[in-house]
Amino acid sequence: MSGESRVRRWKRTARSHPFAADVVVAVMLCGAALIDNAANTWHDGSTVSGPATLVTVAAAYGAMLCRRRWPVAGAAVTVVAAAVYMVLSSLDWWIAPAPMIALYHLAVTRDDRRGLLVAGGLTALVLVAAPTVVTFASWWDASGSHGPHAAVAAACGLALAAGDAARSRRDYLAEVEERAHRAERSREEEARRRVTEERLRIARDLHDSMGHHLAVINAQAGMAVHVFHEQPATGLQALGHIRQASRAALDDLRDTVGLLRQPGEPAAPTEPTVGICGVSDLVSKFRGSGMRVEHEVYGRVRPLPPAADLTAYRVVQESLTNVQKHAEGAAVRVQLSFGPEALHVVVEDKGNGRPPPATEVTSPPALNGAGHGIVGMRERVSAVGGSLEAGSRPGGGFQVSAVLPMASGQP
């Protein structure tokens, strides 16, 4: 256990002080090469010792130390110095680590496989051909085997291949990690987007539903105040409408809160969702509150996709609610035109009251809640692949026009 701890400690030290670790390795290998060379010279005279051997060994391992700053130059000098050493000495193995380490580092740091192949070929040429040619062309003994030269060249080739494999693995792991980070970021962004969309959907539903019911309650309460003494029956009828509208508002609020409190997926609604078929009842409710509403239907009535069906109902509901809030007393026309590919919904008033605030048409929702109506309608219509226009009419009044596709326009 203590031995393993020491190894780990040495690895940490080498990683934190790489140049110091390189110096220690270079001094040890250089010293071993010189000691072995000197020992063989004293015993059997098998090597040519002298200042040249010392210089080549020092040059090889000195250049190896420079590989981190100048990888190409360091590898080239190391290989040439090793080749010169092998010309001067038959002891090749103590010089081999210098070019092997330099070439391994070159392959790890250079993402150029073609260049590494060229470097490997030149290394083999220098380490094998140069010592062989020099040996046969000089007065040194040419009868010895030159297999060690080829073995050193092969070892350097393996070092290049190992470095290239290490670099490829490092790049692959970095790419995998980056992909994982991107996927995690995408999941987080998708989750935030879904939460935002759900919040907007809930806000639109609450605004459309509660705004409509509260507008009806406000109108009926105003009517009851004015006619209760002169026309008690009409006042009682208005109070009945208030009771119905408040009960419907509470039911809608309870349904929304119930969906938010469910731990899992929301359950399917137990009551049918409102749609274009409910526009007639909606118009009747507004007429009951005193609004003058004309309801016109053109073309053959056909079913719409569920989302577009609900959107058409909400557009009519919100438009009538806006008229009741901002143009009280104005006559309103609701027109539904069924075409071959789309439903055209138009709600317009005659302008007997004040139009909706400009913020509802041109500006995003403000912090005080102004502008949610038409912005919410536009978001609903866009979500089903339709389009909506809202603005003042040339002859006075206000118009909301929506085009909803008969086929689902959702992605």
155/28 same-domain check: yes
285/164 same-domain check: no
30/152 same-domain check: yes
- Tell me the backbone φ, ψ of residue 343, rounded to 5 degrees: -105, 130
pLDDT digits (tens, 9 = 90+) for 18-46: 777 777 777 777 777 777 666 655 555 54
Residue 39 C-beta-side C-alpha neighbours within 13 Å = 7
The pLDDT of 296-304, averaged and rounded, is 89
Q: Is residue 208 one of the residues assigned to a domain?
A: no
Q: Is residue 258 one of the residues assigned to a domain?
A: no
pTM of the predicted model as reported, rounded to 2 decimal places = 0.44
Q: How many domains does the chain have?
A: 2
Q: How many helices (H) and strands (E) does the chain have?
A: 13, 5
pLDDT digits (tens, 9 = 90+) for 305-348: 888 888 898 899 888 888 887 777 788 999 999 998 899 999 99
223-to-178, 240, 290, 406 alpha-carbon distances in Å? 66, 12, 8, 40
Q: Which of 84-93, 288-297, 342-351 has the lowest mean pLDDT?
A: 84-93
Q: Is residue 409 one of the residues assigned to a domain?
A: yes
Say which DSSP state 164 is in.
H
176/282 same-domain check: no
Asked which of 165, 184, 203 is the last residue of a domain, the reply is: 184
273: closest CA among 245, 249, 306?
306
Q: Is residue 26 one of the residues assigned to a domain?
A: yes
Secondary element (H or E) of residue 392: strand 387-392
156/283 same-domain check: no
Asked which of 140, 162, 184 is the last residue of a domain, the reply is: 184
Q: Is residue 213 one of the residues assigned to a domain?
A: no
Alpha-carbon gap, residue 328 to 351, rounded angstroms:
9
55/172 same-domain check: yes
Q: Is residue 226 one of the residues assigned to a domain?
A: no
Of 183 and 115, the one with more pLDDT? 183
Owning domain of residue 306: 276-411
Q: What is the CATH number of the domain that holds 375?
A: 3.30.565.10
> Residues 385, 304: contact at Cβ < 8 Å?
no
Q: Which amino acid is at 235?
A: G
Asked which of 142, 163, 184 is the last residue of a domain, the reply is: 184
Q: Is residue 256 one of the residues assigned to a domain?
A: no
